[in-house]
Structure 1
Amino acid sequence: MSDIKEDGFASSEILSNLATAFEKMSDSDRKAQIKKTNGVFQIDVKNDNGKTATWTIDLKEQGKVSKGAPSKKADVIMTLADKHFVELSEGKLNGQKAFMTGLLKVKGNVMMATKLDAVLKTAKAKL
């Protein structure tokens, strides 16, 4: 999954692991995750150097993670700092609190954004 990793971003390791978890899922598990989530997440992460990287989590059709913006319009675009994405994925940062305090910016379907936590937890359990 080296095509997903981006130097200078701790988030890339997490997203690479998420991609690996999706690949290891059985077809039925992946289809169940797609049915449950039914959305495309675009995640824009900014590191300490001010560089931004974008990843897409497609849980509408493919059930995979890719680097870059989605080919079709994302259901939700989430923008946050690299360290905050890491904290969010580790459960150290509450997504709602991050949103309310401005650490996490969301465009599009805000309710879809709330599903990201469950996606991250499911993938962590599969690894």
Structure 2
Amino acid sequence: MSDIKVDGWKSSEVLATLSQVFESFSDEEKKAQIQKTKGIFELRIKNAEGKEGVWTIDLKKTGTVYKGEAKPKPDVALILSDETFTSLAEGKLDGQKAFMTGKLKTKGNMMMATKLDGVLKTAKTKAKL
């Protein structure tokens, strides 16, 4: 769990929280989230120094978040900056707007990328409880 948080990436804090939320889900809640999403997101996030970190949100099989490339292959890879991801997670930036302005790039299933917003909102709501 603690290997998700990485110094120099604000996004890693958000992802660590997301991981805790998934871990706190009951089996039914986890199954429902997996059923709703049915996908694996690989996040390629560049920090302020221009270094890239890779995290994976697996909502296809395990309902987990981990540092590193997706195994198996992701349904969608999202390439964005640390700042953009943090803004998306906080609800300050809309995913479509980020994509249209070039702040967010995708590889793979574009429609799957639209589901990330819902995943982040679920986690945000749950984390505040």
Instruction: Name the TM tier (shorter chain).
Output: over 0.9
C-alpha distance after superposition, 1:62-89 (max 9, x if no partner): 0000000011110000000000100011
Q: In 2, distance between residues paired with 1:124 and 1:87?
A: 13
The CA deviation at 1:55 is 0.3
1:8: which partner in 2?
8
- Structure 2 unaligned runs (5+)? none
Q: In 2, distance between residues paired with 1:26 and 1:94?
A: 29
Contact 1:25 1:126 in 2 (8 A): no
Query: Equivalent residue of 1:72, what SS?
Result: coil
Q: In 2, distance between residues paired with 1:70 and 1:101?
A: 26
AA matched with 2:115: K
1:23: which partner in 2?
23
C-alpha distance after superposition, 1:9-43 (max 9, x if no partner): 00000000000000000000000000000000000
The CA deviation at 1:3 is 1.2
TM-score (norm 1): 0.98
Q: How many residues align?
A: 127
The CA deviation at 1:125 is 1.5
Query: Equivalent residue of 1:34, what SS?
Result: helix
The CA deviation at 1:7 is 1.0
TM-score (norm 2): 0.97
Q: In 2, distance between residues paired with 1:40 and 1:62?
A: 10
Mapping of residues 1-127 of structure 1, within 5 Å: 1-127=1-127
Q: In 2, distance between residues paired with 1:60 and 1:2?
A: 22
Q: Post-superposition, which runs of at least 4 consecutive aligned residues in structure 1 deviate over 2 A?
A: none
Q: In 2, distance between residues paired with 1:108 and 1:3?
A: 26
Query: Equivalent residue of 2:54, what SS?
Result: strand
Q: In 2, distance between residues paired with 1:3 and 1:31?
A: 25
AA matched with 2:20: T
- Structure 1 unaligned runs (5+)? none
AA matched with 2:57: I
Q: In 1, distance between residues paired with 2:14 and 2:101?
A: 23
